[in-house]
């Protein structure tokens, strides 16, 4: 039982990290009032481009940069559509998902199932004992944890964070106060794309060292739900990512010990948990920082008052 628990705890961070990175990106975007439903497509692009870069001989860290860059390009298209040309944010987000999945499915097909040496872990995790908890992790796990604290501090303790939140809460007042609403929203969408791309790269280059079509497997949608669960607060996003990541990591651990459990029902656990958490979160009501007042609204300068 102890070995099972240690093994389970050891792999939870690798399941939670992509959810955490994507949800932090969404918090930045939605705090600026831009509803972004495109993480599934952004993560797919990041995962595929990162894997293709490594397969073609690039250093894994350069592959990480390539995956982030590709997701940023797609995210900027989304930003231009919704911020500059004022397209419907829900439809534009769904278009990003379709574009991302279609692009990776067509361009990345020749690279499917090709294994490669990605970002290394901190140590040898084959030795039994608690050391495995640390040895199995990698630098991106540490980066994600540091980012939680940094983003919380930036949003709540800095003038730039206050301006971002002001744009999401009342863009008209922020505009009157001298804040460039469009510039802030474009920057927030770009940051969201970068973190969603990093979440995707993590799946291929750090966690699995292979790219498979459809490997994001709904994690982008779980990140969207996780942000609602977290009430747009980075520290709660960490708790949510550990909760969802822990449920996701339970399936391979049970299979590894040969437990007689219904596999397909267990694989539904993270998605079922997502629905339960959303319902429970709505029933409990709003506590702490809640949804930005103008989330999803199209801002026009004549709207300021």
pLDDT 10s digit of each residue in the chain, 305 long?
A: 777 788 888 889 999 999 999 999 999 999 999 999 999 999 999 999 999 999 999 999 999 999 999 999 999 999 999 999 999 999 999 999 999 999 999 999 999 999 999 899 898 777 766 777 888 899 999 999 999 999 999 999 999 999 999 999 999 999 999 999 999 999 999 999 999 999 999 999 999 999 999 899 889 999 998 998 898 999 999 999 998 888 888 877 777 777 777 767 777 777 787 778 777 766 665 554 578 998 988 887 665 55
* Burial class for 304, CB neighbours closer than 10 Å (0-12, 13-18, 19+): middle
Contact criterion met (CB below 8 Å) for 23 and 227? yes
Which of 38, 193, 194 shows the shortest CA–CA distance to 102? 38
Quote the pTM value. 0.92
d(CA 166, CA 171): 7
- Measuring CA to CA, how many Å separate 100 from each of 27, 141, 189? 21, 25, 16
Domain 10-283 is in which class? mainly alpha
268 phi/psi in degrees, rounded to 5? -80, -10
């Amino acid at each position: 039982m102890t070995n099972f628990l240690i093994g389970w705890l050891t792999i939870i961070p690798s399941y939670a990290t992509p959810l955490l990175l994507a949800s932090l990106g969404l918090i930045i975007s939605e705090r600026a009032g831009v509803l972004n439903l495109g993480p599934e497509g952004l993560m797919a692009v990041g995962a595929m481009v990162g894997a293709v870069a490594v397969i073609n001989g690039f250093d894994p860290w350069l592959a990480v940069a390539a995956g982030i860059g590709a997701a940023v390009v797609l995210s900027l298209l989304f930003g231009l559509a919704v911020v500059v040309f004022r397209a419907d944010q829900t439809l534009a987000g769904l278009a990003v998902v379709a574009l991302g999945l279609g692009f990776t499915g067509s361009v990345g097909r020749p690279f499917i199932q090709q294994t490669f040496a990605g970002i290394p872990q901190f140590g040898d995790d084959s030795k039994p004992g608690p050391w495995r908890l640390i040895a199995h992790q990698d630098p991106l796990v540490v980066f994600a944890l540091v980012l939680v604290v940094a983003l919380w501090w930036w949003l709540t303790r800095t003038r730039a964070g206050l301006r971002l939140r002001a744009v999401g809460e009342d863009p008209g007042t922020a505009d009157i106060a001298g804040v460039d609403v469009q510039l802030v929203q474009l920057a927030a969408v770009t940051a969201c794309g970068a973190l969603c791309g990093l979440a995707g790269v993590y799946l291929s280059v750090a966690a699995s060292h292979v790219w498979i079509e459809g490997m994001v497997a709904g994690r982008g949608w779980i990140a969207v739900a996780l942000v609602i669960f977290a009430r747009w607060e980075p520290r709660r996003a960490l708790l949510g990512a550990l909760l969802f990541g822990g449920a996701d990591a339970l399936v391979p651990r049970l299979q590894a010990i040969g437990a007689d459990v219904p596999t397909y029902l267990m694989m539904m656990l993270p998605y079922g948990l997502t629905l339960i958490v959303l319902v429970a979160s709505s029933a409990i009501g709003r506590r702490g920082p809640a949804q930005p007042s103008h989330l999803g609204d199209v801002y026009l300068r004549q709207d300021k008052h």
